[in-house]
Chains A and B, each alone.
Chain A
Amino acid sequence: MKTGLPIAFGYFPIAVAFGLLAKANGLPAITSILMSALVFAGASQFIAVNLWATGMGGGEIIITTFLVNMRHFLMSATLARRLGPQPPKVKSLIAFGITDETFSLVVMQPEYNRVPGFVAGVNTAAYLGWVLGTAAGSLLVNGLPAVIQSSMGLALYAMFIGLLVPGLKGSKANVTVFGLTLVLSALASWGPSWLTAIGKGWKVMIITVITCSLGALLFPEEEVKDAK
């Protein structure tokens, strides 16, 4: 759980913001807390509240949620490989806690990511940060000072960088995949409008599939000096 603390601290202010947004849009506190407790997927919850506020029907919101969260499919598959054979109960529990952040943190710790207890601990810390933050946001009134809120916005991205960069050192394969992904990701944001119109959840999935396929074709052998 200790390893998951940076995620919990990163989630908390975002969850507070979610709680505040939900409240501002007239969603009862109990509903937004329940949503955080049962769905536990940040981006899709923000989107859901926005759609809800525009009066969109439940069916459409659920379909959008599904599209946004389909990217966890690849993460779950990758994590399943790291964890190896485990009882279905353990797998079901760990699967619930897969987020962009917990997945990234866990998968970059080769010495621990085969231990279900470690993965579950990271997930639990993140989960508590998210649910407690939502409760705080939807029940309290005031927010944080703007400059602090703004600086905290970088927290999760800085953590991603901290996770990503060590794995790039000494691995030509990983650097190649990183570079390709960077280019495609920029293209998907600033390229032709038919590309930029794709939702972020889809972009993550499509780009990941393309660059990982290229990586697997260009570098079929595991590197000896792989920093993985």
Chain B
Amino acid sequence: MQNSQDLLLVLGMAAVTYLPRLLPMLLLSTDKLPPVLKRFFDFVPYAVLTTLIFPEILFSTAQPASAAVGGVIAFSLAYGGKNLFLVVTGGIGGVFLWELLF
């Protein structure tokens, strides 16, 4: 019964993935958090994003150089206050051109 085993595996994966998503949401009553913990959670998005971006971005395309070029373009556009769509298309366009040319 290969299929029922597959199903069990998927259900098991679903359960262990859902729990860490669900429990803090239900159990943390955040109004009562001490200030230092509140500050801690303020920083979480920045730290998470940074570890997700770097250094993995370098291996996201066919060559680290094109990824670096795309990354720098995206960074400059974002720093210049451009909207998310432009940042993403600018970055992708940079990679595309670089790989086409080099």
Q: Which of A's residues lie within 8 Å of B, judged by CB?
A: 6, 10, 27-28, 31, 34-35, 38-41, 44-45, 48, 52, 58-59, 61-63, 65-66, 69-81, 84-85, 88, 91-92, 94-96, 98, 100, 103-104, 107-108, 146-148, 150-169, 173-174, 177-178, 181-182, 184-186, 189-190, 200, 203-204, 207-208, 211-213, 215-217, 219-220, 222, 228
Contact = CB atoms under 8 A, between A and B. Distances in A.
A154 B60 CA distance: 6
A80 B24 contact: yes
B48 A100 contact: yes
A73 B28 CA distance: 11
B4 to A, nearest CB: 11
B44 A76 contact: no
Contact of A186 (B23, B45, B54, B75): B54
A146 B27 CA distance: 46
A200 B52 CA distance: 9
A63 B19 CA distance: 13
A23 to B, nearest CB: 14
B25 interface: yes
Contacts of B1: none
Contacts of B5: 58
Given A76-B24, A212-B47, 5 more contacts: A6-B84, A58-B5, A62-B9, A154-B95, A161-B78
Contacts of B22: 76, 91-92, 95-96
Contacts of A61: 9, 12-13
B27 to A, nearest CB: 8
Which 9 A-B pairs rank lowest in CB-CB distance, beginning with the nearest? A158-B91, A162-B87, A165-B78, A77-B24, A66-B16, A81-B30, A216-B39, A181-B50, A38-B14
B43 A215 contact: yes
B18 to A, nearest CB: 6
A168 B47 CA distance: 11
A162 B88 contact: yes
Contacts of A35: 10, 13
A217 B53 CA distance: 24
A220 to B, nearest CB: 6
Interface residues of B, number: 76
Contact of A212 (B11, B44, B70, B75): B44
A83 to B, nearest CB: 8
14 contacts: A52-B9, A65-B13, A65-B16, A69-B20, A96-B21, A103-B45, A151-B70, A154-B92, A160-B52, A160-B53, A161-B53, A185-B51, A200-B56, A208-B44
Contacts of B41: 77-78, 81, 212
A103 B48 contact: yes
A155 B17 contact: no
A217 B52 CA distance: 23
A96 B18 contact: yes
